[in-house]
């Protein structure tokens, strides 16, 4: 239940550009039982604010929270400004930073001259201030102007919250439009979708009645079309669409008929407004156009800079071999050498080709060549990956810090912006990015925007794996442009030559699957069973693995779909009952039809850089206190309230897409006909390559063999390759 505190704002501890504030309030009054002992004392609060002023009175509404780092705090959900009512409060207010030319002496003169209702008088007529000794007309007018502006900002934020916007979005809207806020959103509330990243079409559309907007209002239709293009691109992975695709998508979702002629008219309007770009009947959101063009420009610049001269490079490669007590094959030598010499290079290969070995060689080689101290090296050489687990794997292999791209670029989940950007470049001289196939065009664009002009870049990945979740096919486009120096790793590294997992991956990728996949191997087994036996088969395999000494951290069930009897959701329910049944010693909490229990295996679904946890991370529920869940991600403890539950899911079974960037000792994957619409070569290949020591497939051999030759969906429609090629032609 929400409580309140009234008091005086005393000190700012921290404040960000987006309005997030940690501060101290001296409590005068409260109905929060936990805070009664703090009346007359200062207490820590946190929240989002349009602007707080020192020594000013406020009413905060919210609840106390127990921050694991900072202890008990008051989290503010909403707030009200209390205008000072007594003489001392008014003097403090008028002599605050709001009125830079009014000192304490002048403030006292104003109150003494005009009385304790002086703020009301000044708002109505600044000339009343001319009665104050030594007050000029210019100064009086400025005091009134600042007072009115101060009142308006608060009133505007309250107006927005009353419309139905949350405090966070209300602050973003006000900070963008300032005094023009009310006029702007009344003119066209759908414009907020373009200006405020966190505001969606559905949010504005739910408020359309408050703005008296009808279904056939052109403003709504234009926003609807843009939203349809965006959603369709996210589903398909395309960065551009053709008009027929857009037309069919609109027909299936819009409540009224729109003719193809009318759609053409609306598309031209959107083109004229700069919302979309139309190129040769290819229709692209302007944001995707900017991303592709930016990446193409930066890649071209990097690729055309002169190579770096490194004396005795072959000798240095030999020194690396001695350092690691290893013998590189010719492909690996070439990859390390070119990564150190070229300004931009790509290294691509399947499992067992030694990509990790190469990364270790590159990092140690750069350390050797640069001569940097370790502290300076950490600043100048940066190892990145799209997921937390991939970054951790990279760090463990290289014995060098690695980070997710979001964390390194200082992603702010409140503002949905990166701290490193085109106006604030990072200091890195050398960037190595692993699992590059997972990076979509928007994230790649943001990464390039943050890089300084003199940076060296190495991309490493397997472009035969699944494409990125978001639009784009960046790694493939870069490779196929033939513009970037690319090393293709084909030789299987010797310790993997006897692995059937590696062999199976190559057979699937090359379309050469034989009936040998039905034979049991040291590291592989295909268990034939029908759809009705999948659940029992999966649990039996997991039980046996645990009996052999493995734990759930090292056993991962993968599946292509969430729904159905053998889907991820049901697999998780069954596996939870088997491996973490109810117990009097285990607390529980609920979320719709999901039971979270102490000891549960958990998958993180969102990037939460402030908590050092990222999409794809896997942890275990350590504690449940009421409805607060504490999850341990390899010792990093993160707390989730009910409003945060959307960021987690049971992790006994996860999707193949979510497994990208991760490796597991044992992978168990059902393969049945009911999955057929999701069973295709890249998905199966990706699942296979997640297994380190053992791969167990269960189900229908025919479904698997069909999947191995099924190319799946059409190639993604992107223009990055063409934009790179056009850069060459234009020179």
What are the tens digits of pLDDT across the range 506-550? 999 888 888 889 999 999 999 999 999 999 999 999 999 999 888
Residues 326-338 have a mean pLDDT of 92
What does the mean pLDDT of the chain come to?
A: 88
Task: Grade residue 244 by pLDDT with cuts at 50, 70 and 90.
Answer: very high
Q: How far is CA 689 from CA 325, 464, 697, in A?
A: 27, 11, 13
Beta strands in 411-503 (DSSP E): 411-412, 417-418, 430-433, 456-461, 485-489
Q: How many CB atoms lie within 10 A of CB 582?
A: 11
Higher pLDDT, 329 or 93: 329
- Whether 728 has a pLDDT exceeding 70, the answer reads no
Task: Grade residue 273 by pLDDT with cuts at 50, 70 and 90.
Answer: very high
| pLDDT tens digits for range 366-411 | 999 988 888 889 889 999 999 888 898 899 989 999 999 999 999 8
| pLDDT tens digits for range 112-169 | 999 988 888 998 999 999 999 989 999 999 999 888 877 777 778 778 877 877 767 7
Distance from first CA to last CA of the chain, Å, rounded? 66
What local confidence, expressed as pLDDT, does residue 414 receive? Answer: 65
What local confidence, expressed as pLDDT, does residue 333 receive? Answer: 93
What local confidence, expressed as pLDDT, does residue 630 receive? Answer: 94
pTM for the model: 0.76
Q: Provide the pairing of β-strand 636-640 with 555-559.
A: unpaired
Cα-trace Rg, the chain: 30
The H or E element containing residue 569 is helix 568-579
The H or E element containing residue 24 is strand 20-30
Task: Grade residue 416 by pLDDT with cuts at 50, 70 and 90.
Answer: confident
The H or E element containing residue 696 is strand 691-699
What local confidence, expressed as pLDDT, does residue 443 receive? Answer: 96
Residues 218-242 have a mean pLDDT of 93
Q: Is 652 helix (H, G, I), strand (E, B) or coil?
A: coil
Mean pLDDT lowest among 53-62, 490-499, 603-612: 490-499
- Whether 18 has a pLDDT exceeding 70, the answer reads no
**Residue 65 in contact with residue 56, Cβ under 8 Å?**
no
What local confidence, expressed as pLDDT, does residue 4 receive? Answer: 93
Instruction: For the chain, give the longest Cα–Cα distance.
Output: 99
Residue keyed to tokens 């890195």: 428
Task: Grade residue 51 by pLDDT with cuts at 50, 70 and 90.
Answer: low
DSSP-assigned letter for residue 605: -
Higher pLDDT, 197 or 505: 505
- Whether 501 has a pLDDT exceeding 50, the answer reads yes
DSSP-assigned letter for residue 241: B
- Whether 720 has a pLDDT exceeding 90, the answer reads yes
Higher pLDDT, 247 or 166: 247
- Whether 690 has a pLDDT exceeding 50, the answer reads yes
What local confidence, expressed as pLDDT, does residue 437 receive? Answer: 94
What local confidence, expressed as pLDDT, does residue 580 receive? Answer: 93
- Whether 294 has a pLDDT exceeding 70, the answer reads yes
- Whether 645 has a pLDDT exceeding 70, the answer reads yes
What local confidence, expressed as pLDDT, does residue 68 receive? Answer: 72
| pLDDT tens digits for range 459-476 | 999 988 988 889 999 999
Higher pLDDT, 163 or 245: 245
What local confidence, expressed as pLDDT, does residue 676 receive? Answer: 82
**Residue 352 in contact with residue 499, Cβ under 8 Å?**
yes
What local confidence, expressed as pLDDT, does residue 717 receive? Answer: 94
What local confidence, expressed as pLDDT, does residue 731 receive? Answer: 47
């Amino acid at each position: 239940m929400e409580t309140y505190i009234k008091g005086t704002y005393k000190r700012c501890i921290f404040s960000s550009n987006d309005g997030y504030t940690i501060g101290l309030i001296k409590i005068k009054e409260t109905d929060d039982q936990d805070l009664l002992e703090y009346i007359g004392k200062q207490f820590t609060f946190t929240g989002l604010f349009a602007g707080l002023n020192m020594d000013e009175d406020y009413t905060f509404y919210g609840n106390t929270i127990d921050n694991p780092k900072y202890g008990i705090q008051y989290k503010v959900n909403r707030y009200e400004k209390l205008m000072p009512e007594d003489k001392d409060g008014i003097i403090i207010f008028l002599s605050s930073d709001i009125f830079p030319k009014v000192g304490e002496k002048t403030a006292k003169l104003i109150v003494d001259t005009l009385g304790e209702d002086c703020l009301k008088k000044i708002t109505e007529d600044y000339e009343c201030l001319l009665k104050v000794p030594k007050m000029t007309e210019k100064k009086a007018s400025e005091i009134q102007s600042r007072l009115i502006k101060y009142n308006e900002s608060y009133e505007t934020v309250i107006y927005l919250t009353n419309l139905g916007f949350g405090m966070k979005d209300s602050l973003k809207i006000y900070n963008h439009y300032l005094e023009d806020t009310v006029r702007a959103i009344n003119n066209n509330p759908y414009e907020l979708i373009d200006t405020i990243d966190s505001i969606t079409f559905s949010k504005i559309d739910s408020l359309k009645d408050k703005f008296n907007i009808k279904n056939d209002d052109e403003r709504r239709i234009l926003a609807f079309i843009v939203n349809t293009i965006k959603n369709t691109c996210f589903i398909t992975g395309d960065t551009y669409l053709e008009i027929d695709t857009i037309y069919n998508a609109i027909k299936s979702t819009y409540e009224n008929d729109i003719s193809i002629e009318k759609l053409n008219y609306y598309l031209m309007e959107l083109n004229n407004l700069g919302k979309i770009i139309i190129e040769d009947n290819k229709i692209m959101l302007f944001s995707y156009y900017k991303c592709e063009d930016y990446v193409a420009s930066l890649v071209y610049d990097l690729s055309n800079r002169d190579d770096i001269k490194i004396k005795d490079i072959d000798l240095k490669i030999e020194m690396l071999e001695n350092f690691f007590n290893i013998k590189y094959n010719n492909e690996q030598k070439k990859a390390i050498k070119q990564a150190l010499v070229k300004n931009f290079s790509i290294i691509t290969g399947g499992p067992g080709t030694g990509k990790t070995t190469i990364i270790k060689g590159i990092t140690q080689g750069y350390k050797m060549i640069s001569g940097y101290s370790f502290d300076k090296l950490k600043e100048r050489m940066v190892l990145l990956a799209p997921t937390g687990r991939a970054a951790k794997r990279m760090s463990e292999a290289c014995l060098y810090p690695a980070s997710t791209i979001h964390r390194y670029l200082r992603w702010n989940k409140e503002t949905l912006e990166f701290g490193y950007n085109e106006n604030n470049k990072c200091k890195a001289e050398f960037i190595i990015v692993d699992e590059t196939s997972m990076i979509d065009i928007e994230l790649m664009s943001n990464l390039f925007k943050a890089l300084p002009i003199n940076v060296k870049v190495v991309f490493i990945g397997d472009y035969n794996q699944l494409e990125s979740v978001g639009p784009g096919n960046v790694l493939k486009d870069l490779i196929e442009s033939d513009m970037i120096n690319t090393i293709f790793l084909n030789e299987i590294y010797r310790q993997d030559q006897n692995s059937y997992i590696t062999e199976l991956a190559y057979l699937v990728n090359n379309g050469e699957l034989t009936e040998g996949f039905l034979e049991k191997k040291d590291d592989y087994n295909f268990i034939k069973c029908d759809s009705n036996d999948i659940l029992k088969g999966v649990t039996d395999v997991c039980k046996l693995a645990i009996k052999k000494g493995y734990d759930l951290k090292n056993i991962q069930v993968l599946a292509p779909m969430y729904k159905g009897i053998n889907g991820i959701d049901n697999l998780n329910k069954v596996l939870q009952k088997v491996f973490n049944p109810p117990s009097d010693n285990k607390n529980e909490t609920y979320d719709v039809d999901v039971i979270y229990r102490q000891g549960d295996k958990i998958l993180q679904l969102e990037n939460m850089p402030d908590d050092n946890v990222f999409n794809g991370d896997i942890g275990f529920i350590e504690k449940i206190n009421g409805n607060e869940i504490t999850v341990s991600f390899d010792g990093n403890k993160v707390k989730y309230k009910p409003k945060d539950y959307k960021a987690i899911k049971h992790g006994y079974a996860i999707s193949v897409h979510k497994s990208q960037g991760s490796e597991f000792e044992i992978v168990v994957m059902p393969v049945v006909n009911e999955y057929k619409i999701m069973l295709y070569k890249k998905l199966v290949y990706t699942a296979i390559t997640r297994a380190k020591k053992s791969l167990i497939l269960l189900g229908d051999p025919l479904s698997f063999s069909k999947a191995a030759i099924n190319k799946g969906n059409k190639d993604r429609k992107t223009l990055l390759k063409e934009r790179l090629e056009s850069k060459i032609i234009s020179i």
